[in-house]
Amino acid sequence: MHITGFPAFLNLLIWFGYMVGFEAKYGGTLGNLVFDLQVVSIKDSNSTSLTLGQSFIRHFFDFLDLSFFGLLGVLLIKNTQYNQRLGDLCAQTIVIDTKDSEQFYKRFA
């Protein structure tokens, strides 16, 4: 199937609004929030709030992270200090478990 014009633009707007906008506003997508996960910034020591730009960068690299059955993403997650995938490394973000109150502080101690 191939779409062009307004339907293709509409798909891009829906993707941007859900993946990027929702994550920047609430700290995660619906799936993240259901499983008590939150994306936080490690760029600035004063704030852990995710910016719209960081969220866009995270998802801009989704295609590469998922290439070859997710092999690149898995290799990076297993071999980086904070278990980050390529999008997280470029955006300077991490994903934390919100139920583990000490997790964030243990990572940066």
The pLDDT score that the predictor gives to residue 56 is: 94
The pLDDT score that the predictor gives to residue 93 is: 92
Question: For residue 105, what pLDDT band results from cuts at 50, 70 and 90?
Answer: low
Task: Quote the distance between the C-alpha of residue 90 and its chain's center.
Answer: 10
Supply angle C-alpha 91, 28, 22, rounded to 5.
95
User: Whole-model pTM above 0.85?
Assistant: no
Taking 90 as the threshold, does the pLDDT of residue 25 lie above it? yes
SS3 letters across the chain: CCCCCHHHHHHHHHHHHHHHHHHHHHCCCHHHHHCCEEEEECCECCECCCCHHHHHHHHHCHHHHHHHHHHHHHHHHHHCCCCCCHHHHHHCEEEEECCCCCHHHHHCC
The pLDDT score that the predictor gives to residue 65 is: 86
pLDDT, tens digit, for every residue of 55-87?
A: 999 999 988 888 888 899 999 999 998 899 999
